[in-house]
C-alpha cells in the first residue's frame, strides 16, 4: 500500500539523510559493533547536518520543525543500513529525551542546554530504571535531598541507553521520599559533576554498538537550576512522555521487520536447492506471504499512530498497543527470516543474524510488553 504520510519535502529529506547514512554510518558500523559504542564524531556530524534537535527553535540551533515524520524517516533509513544501534541512540536523543527539555525547561535552561543538544556536543540520556526497580517507577530509590541551593543526589541507575557518551542525563529522583510517586522529580545531571560516575558498559544480546551502562551518584551536588519543571511533578512528566517513546520503539520495530523481509525475499530468489530457488517452494512462499501481510498491517497501524502523534491525539493505550504488537512481530519475523536463510542465517557476517539479535531487547525496554497489555487492559475498564 502507498504510504500517505510523506510529502515531497519528506522525500527530499529522505534522500539527504540516506546519503548521510551511506557515508557517515554504514562504513563505520562494523567497528562500532566491535567497540560497543558509536563515535562522538557521528553526533557532531549529525548536528552539523541539522539532524539533531529538529524540533528546537531556530534561535537555539534547531529547525523549529514539529513533525515526527522526519524522525521516522531517520529511523527507517538507519535500520535499512542494518545499524539499529545507531538508530536507537539518535532516536533516544531526538524523540525521547529532547521533548522533556522542550516542554519543561525555563528560558535560562533553554539557552544553556539546547544549542549543544542540536550541535551534537551534548548527547542526551534519561535515567529511570534502577537495579531493584524495572517498570515500577514509583519505587525508585535514588534520592535528591535539598541542601541550600543544591540537591545532594545518591543512588544508582542501570540499563541506560547512551549511558557512556551522554553529557546531559535526565535523572528520575525522589526529592521527597515520604511522598511516593508524588515525591519524584527530574534533575539534569551533567558530565563532570563530582560524584557522578559511569559503571561498566553492559554486554548485551544484540544492539552491540549502543552504549548501555550503569550510572552511579555519590553525594552529587546538582544546582537547583537543573531541576526540570516543578519539584514533585516528575512522575506525571514521565507518564506524559511515554506514548512518544513507545511509538519510537514501534517505528524502529516495523523498519526492522521490513528490512529483514526485504533481505530474505532477495535471498530466497537467489539461493537454490534441488535445482530451483528456495522461494519457489510452497513453505517458503507461504512464510513470506504471511510475513508480508503482517508487516503491512503493522506499517499501516504505526503510520496512523504517527499521524495521531503529530495531531496531538496519540493516547497511552494506543501507543502501548503499537509497542507490544510491533516488537512481538519483530521477533517472529526475524526468527522466520533467519530460518529461511538456513545455516547462513546464524553466521555473523549475514545481516539477518544482527537483525535477529537486535530484535530481542525491544520487547523489554520502554516498558515490558506485559506492562503494555496492563495499560491497554486498564484503559478498557478492567
Annotate 291-351 with DSSP letters as a single string. Answer: HHHHHHHHHHHHHHHHHHHHTT---HHHHHHHHHHHHHHHHHHHHHHHHHTGGGGGSTTSH
- Give the C-alpha separation, 187 to 231, whole Å: 9
Is the separation of the CB atoms in 79 and 351 below 8 Å? Answer: no
- Give the C-alpha separation, 354 to 205, whole Å: 10
For 374, residues 6+ apart whose C-beta sits below 8 A from its C-beta are: none
Q: Residue 128: name the closest of 117, 141, 116, 137 by CA.
A: 137
- Give the C-alpha separation, 91 to 250, whole Å: 12
**SS3 assignment, position 170:** strand
DSSP label at 41?
H
Options 33, 76, 77, 245, the catalytic residue: 245
Output the CA torsion sign for 295, 338, 286, 273. positive
CA angle 326, 329, 331 (to 5 degrees): 115
- For residue 8, indicate whether it is catalytic: no
- Give the C-alpha separation, 355 to 263, whole Å: 11
Q: Residue 42: name the closest of 96, 6, 81, 97 by CA.
A: 81
CA angle 328, 330, 334 (to 5 degrees): 125
- Give the C-alpha separation, 278 to 52, whole Å: 43
Q: Which residues are catalytic?
A: 245
Amino acid at each position: 500500500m502507498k504510504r500517505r504520510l510523506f510529502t515531497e519535502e519528506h522525500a527530499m529529506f529522505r534522500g539527504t539523510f540516506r546519503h548521510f547514512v551511506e557515508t557517515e554510518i554504514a562504513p563505520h558500523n562494523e567497528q562500532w559493533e566491535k567497540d560497543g559504542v558509536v563515535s562522538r564524531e557521528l553526533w557532531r556530524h549529525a548536528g552539523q547536518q541539522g539532524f539533531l534537535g529538529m524540533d528546537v527553535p531556530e534561535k537555539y540551533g534547531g529547525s523549529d520543525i514539529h513533525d515526527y515524520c522526519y524522525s521516522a524517516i531517520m529511523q527507517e533509513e538507519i535500520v535499512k543500513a542494518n545499524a539499529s544501534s545507531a538508530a536507537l541512540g539518535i532516536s533516544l536523543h531526538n524523540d525521547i529525551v529532547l521533548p522533556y527539555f522542550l516542554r519543561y525547561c525555563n528560558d535560562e535552561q533553554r539557552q544553556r542546554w539546547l544549542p549543544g543538544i542540536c550541535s551534537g556536543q551534548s548527547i542526551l540520556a534519561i535515567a529511570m530504571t534502577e537495579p531493584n526497580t524495572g517498570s515500577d517507577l514509583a519505587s525508585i530509590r535514588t534520592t535528591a535531598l535539598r541542601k541550600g541551593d543544591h540537591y545532594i543526589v545518591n543512588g544508582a541507575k542501570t540499563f541506560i541507553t547512551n549511558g557512556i557518551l551522554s553529557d546531559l542525563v535526565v535523572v528520575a529522583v525522589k526529592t521527597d521520599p515520604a511522598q511516593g510517586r508524588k515525591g519524584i522529580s527530574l534533575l539534569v545531571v551533567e558530565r563532570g559533576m563530582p560524584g557522578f560516575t559511569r559503571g561498566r558498559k553492559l554486554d548485551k544480546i544484540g544492539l552491540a554498538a549502543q552504549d548501555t551502562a550503569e550510572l552511579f551518584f555519590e553525594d552529587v551536588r546538582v544546582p537547583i537550576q537543573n531541576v526540570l519543571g516543578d519539584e514533585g511533578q516528575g512522575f506525571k512528566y514521565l507518564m506524559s512522555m511515554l506514548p512518544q517513546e513507545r511509538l519510537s520503539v514501534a517505528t524502529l520495530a516495523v523498519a526492522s521487520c521490513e528490512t529483514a523481509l526485504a533481505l530474505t525475499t532477495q535471498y530466497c530468489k537467489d539461493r537454490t536447492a534441488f535445482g530451483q530457488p528456495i522461494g519457489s517452494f510452497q513453505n517458503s512462499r507461504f512464510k513470506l506471504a504471511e510475513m508480508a501481510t503482517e508487516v503491512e498491517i503493522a506499517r499501516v497501524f504505526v503510520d496512523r499512530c504517527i499521524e495521531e502523534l503529530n495531531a496531538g491525539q496519540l493516547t497511552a493505550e494506543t501507543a502501548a498497543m503499537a509497542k507490544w504488537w510491533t516488537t512481538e512481530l519483530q521477533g517472529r519475523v526475524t526468527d522466520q527470516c533467519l530460518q529461511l536463510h538456513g545455516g547462513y542465517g546464524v553466521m555473523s557476517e549475514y545481516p539477518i543474524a544482527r537483525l535477529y539479535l537486535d530484535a530481542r531487547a525491544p520487547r523489554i525496554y520502554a516498558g515490558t510488553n506485559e506492562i503494555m497489555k496492563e495499560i491497554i487492559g486498564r484503559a478498557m475498564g478492567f
